[in-house]
Amino acid sequence: MNLSELKKGQAGRVLRIEAVPALRKRLIDMGVLAGEVIRVEGVAPFGDPMEVLVRNYRLSLRKHEVEGILVEEVQ
């Protein structure tokens, strides 16, 4: 599943990032790496942007950015 499918409060472990090279590099630079747990902290009314917690800091990501982040749900 991709990160955009998780609801507020749910977490997932990053499996891989499927995005254009520039966006992929930007996400990796921000700490979104394979194996990291990422938790959805909030979602705007229309689903864009999404606030996530990764490596103990918060990021606001646009919908097209989170759709390329593949995760497996964790408890």
The pLDDT of residue 21 is 94
Distances (CA, A) of 64 to 9, 16, 45, 56, 74: 20, 15, 16, 23, 22
The pLDDT of residue 47 is 75
Report the CATH fold assignment for 3-74. SH3 type barrels. (2.30.30)
The structural domains of the chain, with segments of one domain joined by +, span 3-74
The pLDDT of residue 70 is 95
Q: Which residues contact 12 (CB under 8 A, 6 or more apart)?
A: 1, 3, 6, 37, 38, 71, 72, 73, 74
In tens, the pLDDT along 27-74 reads 999 999 999 999 999 999 887 899 999 999 999 999 888 999 999 999
